[in-house]
Amino acid sequence: MEHVPVAALMWERGSAETFTGTVWASSMSRRPGRSAAALGVLFEPGARTFWHSHPDGQLLYVASGAGRVGAADGAVLEITMGDTVYASPGERHWHGANPDTYMMHLSITTGGATEWEPTPVTDTEYNGNS
């Protein structure tokens, strides 16, 4: 068993090439090369991912705060602490915090790296007015 205190986690600021606003992320996966990747992600109010997908899907567990998840069809779901969201393999989507609150989620993926699009989520898409 290995215990990793919160102070030992390596939090890095998310890239402006994949996030709008301020986002911090830390790998929770302790063994490189494993098929599953776990990532803790903290979104400041209004921050969100760019459009992306995952080859084998993605499971999100909201650990704190509240946010939004958007799909390619324009649907925007409100999510809050304790909720889970599953994006199917290859499903184009985005996720982030509400405009007035932080959100932290745990992201679990398998099957390879996130497939990022160079496409930020517009304010219209973020607000569910696509």
Give SS3 for 126: helix
Nearest residue to 67 (alpha-carbon basis) of 38, 91, 95, 41: 95
What backbone torsions phi and psi does residue 80 show, to the nearest 5 degrees?
-145, 170
Q: Is residue 118 in a domain?
A: no
40: domain CATH number is 2.60.120.10
State how many domains the chain has: 1
Domain extent at residue 104: 8-112
Q: Is residue 21 in a domain?
A: yes
Strands 58-71 and 103-110, bridge-based pairing? antiparallel
Q: pTM value? A: 0.92
Q: Is residue 16 in a domain?
A: yes
Q: Is residue 75 in a domain?
A: yes
pLDDT at 34: 63
Q: pLDDT 10s digit of each residue in the chain, 130 long?
A: 888 888 888 999 999 999 999 999 998 876 666 678 899 999 999 999 999 999 999 999 999 999 999 999 999 999 999 999 999 999 999 999 999 999 999 999 988 889 999 999 999 999 987 6
pLDDT at 111: 87
- Alpha-carbon distance values, 55 to 6, 16, 82, 92, 107 (Å): 30, 22, 25, 10, 14
Give the integer Cα–Cα distance in Å for 33 and 55.
Answer: 16
Q: Is residue 90 in a domain?
A: yes
Q: Is residue 130 in a domain?
A: no
Q: Is residue 78 in a domain?
A: yes
Nearest residue to 12 (alpha-carbon basis) of 3, 2, 23: 23
Give the integer Cα–Cα distance in Å for 125 and 90.
Answer: 19
Q: Is residue 129 in a domain?
A: no
